[in-house]
Amino acid sequence: MLFTRPVFASLRFSLLLALLLVSAGLLPGRAMAQRTLSSGQHLYLPIYAYIQYGDVDKSGVASRNPVSALISIHNTDLDRPLKLLAARYYSTEGKFLRNFVSSPQILKPMETLEFLVERRDVVGGSGANFVIQWEAAVPVSPPLVQALHVELQLHRAIVFTTDAVLIPR
């Protein structure tokens, strides 16, 4: 069977759309965790500055593909604001790189704040992470914190999400 370019383009678009929907949790496959009200938390968010893949070469290093990471902090409370105190970025080795929040930021009900770790910023490595710290005056619905990792090239796309987890304190 011979495929024409429009068929391949349509197939690529369909696959990319399915990947985006699954990774965003909009298709079946991921159950929502039960969440309780809180007046503040520290959250750990894994980030990948690049993806290692393929075989290891003679020097012991695998191929690397840099990806961008869009960090989204969603205030999921319908009525109350929360205050974002810090979004500290750490390397694979645990070295503090920078704080993406220079001063506390108020997120209104249902507001989202985003930060971008650019594709060219690979200093964090394949095991980079953020520690997100927030507080509220009264208990609120905790924020939903995710990172959308993306790399689009001519004939392929890499798209996946990572979710923050609570750091017990």
Cα gap 71→107, rounded to integer Å: 15
- Asked if residue 25 belongs to a domain, the reply is no
Cα gap 161→46, rounded to integer Å: 10
Cα gap 62→84, rounded to integer Å: 37
Q: Which domain holds residue 42?
A: 37-166
**CA 121 to each of CA 128, 132, 156: distance values in angstroms, whole numbers, following the listed order:** 11, 19, 21
User: Which pLDDT band, with edges at 50, 70 and 90, does 22 fall under?
Assistant: low
- Asked if residue 115 belongs to a domain, the reply is yes
- Asked if residue 13 belongs to a domain, the reply is no
- Asked if residue 123 belongs to a domain, the reply is yes
Q: What is the H or E stretch that residue 7 is in? A: helix 5-23
> Hey, is 43 helix, strand or coil?
strand
User: Look-up: residue for tokens 């990572």?
Assistant: 162
Query: What does the pLDDT look like over 128-142, one tens digit per residue?
Result: 999 999 999 999 999
Structure tokens at 160: 């996946």
- The CATH number of residue 68's host domain is 2.60.290
Indicate the number of domains in the chain: 1
User: Which pLDDT band, with edges at 50, 70 and 90, does 16 fall under?
Assistant: low
- Asked if residue 19 belongs to a domain, the reply is no
Average pLDDT, the chain: 86
- Asked if residue 56 belongs to a domain, the reply is yes
Query: What does the pLDDT look like over 33-63, one tens digit per residue?
Result: 567 999 999 999 999 999 888 888 888 888 8
